[in-house]
Amino acid sequence: MESVFIIATILYLLSCTGYLGYLFFQREPLQRMAMGLMLTGFVLHSIYLVVCGLRAGNFPVNNLHETLSVTAWAIAAVFLAFSWGYKLKILGIYAAPLISMTMVAAHHMPDTVAQDPRLFKSWWLAAHIITAFLGNAAFALGGGLGLLYLLQENAIKKKIRGFFFSRLPSLELLDTTGYACIVAGFSMITIGLITGVIYAKAVWGRFWSWDPKEVWAAITWLFYAALLHERLTVGWRGRRAAIMAMVGFGVLLFTFFGVNFLLKGHHGTFTAM
């Protein structure tokens, strides 16, 4: 199945090239080709993960190679959903490179199975991983939309029809889609936390153990909860919301990678190299 993974990676990379071409030349056939390549890569990637899961008898997050692979798959899934729902074609210039880089990184990681496979044989773990990864993917896209918002806002303020002005959609669409990503991500990550503590109780005998990953996951949840609260009560929109979405993505990256590599805890098993 390694060949399927490689083909999916190549398709993602070709999609990335197509989206970059669409950014520069603004030709609809390039965007349609890039989307088709992305969708095909996603289907093959899904087949790869299903086969890996069936072979291992558990959800395929046994090491850093598989964890990064599932991360890329989740970003692709959320990207395809939001691209279809919001008709935001330009989002691919951010999502496709992110997916491609994650797949390339996964390819260079060893795929040795973790020491204790019993940790992975739980439906609660599968539910926790799927919802948490999809939630993280939505937050990642929200951060990217925040960046695109700032680029477009800067172009408008300069009153110069520069490179990004004619290529990026309206500020309203970017803000609305970014908010939808945060809402979807927060909903999924909430379910992910609930299923995670149930899984922890089943495996380690307690719901909460102050594991560094648990603590930072809670910090991430509180950050996005505060962001949504301020939007609903104070009316945080536009530039402030875009900046906070990017900051949140930074917190998420540290929670996902930094904690596992810099701090010790239960979750190091899932990103073992």
Give the DSSP letter string of 144-192. Answer: HHHHHHHHHHHHHHHT---TTTTTS--HHHHHHHHHHHHHHHHHHHHHH
User: Does the pLDDT value for residue 53 go beyond 90?
Assistant: no
Q: Vertex 56, ends 273 and 65: CA angle to 5°?
A: 25
User: Does the pLDDT value for residue 114 go beyond 80?
Assistant: no
The answer to whether 171 and 153 are in contact (CB under 8 A) is yes
Question: Which tops the pLDDT comparison, 99 or 262?
Answer: 99
List Cβ neighbours of 49 (8 Å cut-off, separation of 6 or more). 60, 69, 70, 73
Q: How many whole angstroms separate alpha carbon 112 and alpha carbon 60?
A: 12
User: Does the pLDDT value for residue 209 go beyond 80?
Assistant: no
pLDDT of residue 190: 95
User: Does the pLDDT value for residue 188 go beyond 60?
Assistant: yes
Angle of helix 64-86 relative to helix 123-158, nearest 10 degrees, comes to 50
pLDDT of residue 244: 94
List Cβ neighbours of 102 (8 Å cut-off, separation of 6 or more). 68, 71, 72, 75
User: Does the pLDDT value for residue 15 go beyond 90?
Assistant: yes
The answer to whether 91 and 137 are in contact (CB under 8 A) is no
- In this prediction, residues 219-235 reach a mean pLDDT of 89
Comparing CA positions, the residue from 39, 40, 18 lying closest to residue 29 is 18
pLDDT of residue 182: 95
The distance in angstroms from the start CA to the end CA of the chain is 20
Per mean pLDDT, which range of 46-50, 95-99, 259-263 is the poorest? 259-263
Q: How many whole angstroms separate alpha carbon 111 and alpha carbon 273?
A: 8
pLDDT of residue 267: 54
Comparing CA positions, the residue from 237, 249, 229 lying closest to residue 153 is 237
pLDDT of residue 144: 93
- Mean pLDDT, the chain, integer: 85
Domain ranges of the chain: 1-115, 122-272
- In this prediction, residues 164-184 reach a mean pLDDT of 88
- In this prediction, residues 69-85 reach a mean pLDDT of 93
- Spell 216-232 as b/e; 16+ CB within 10 A means b: bbeebbebbeebbeebe
pLDDT of residue 214: 79
pLDDT of residue 140: 94
Q: How many whole angstroms separate alpha carbon 8 and alpha carbon 41?
A: 4
For CA atoms 198, 204, 205, 206, the dihedral sign is negative
Question: Which tops the pLDDT comparison, 48 or 270?
Answer: 48
User: Does the pLDDT value for residue 273 go beyond 70?
Assistant: no
The answer to whether the pTM exceeds 0.75 is: yes
Give per-residue pLDDT as tens, 115-134.
Answer: 555 666 677 788 888 999 99
Comparing CA positions, the residue from 114, 113, 115, 118 lying closest to residue 203 is 118
pLDDT band (50, 70, 90) for residue 259: low
User: Does the pLDDT value for residue 110 go beyond 70?
Assistant: yes
Q: How many whole angstroms separate alpha carbon 57 and alpha carbon 169?
A: 45
pLDDT of residue 46: 95
- In this prediction, residues 260-265 reach a mean pLDDT of 61
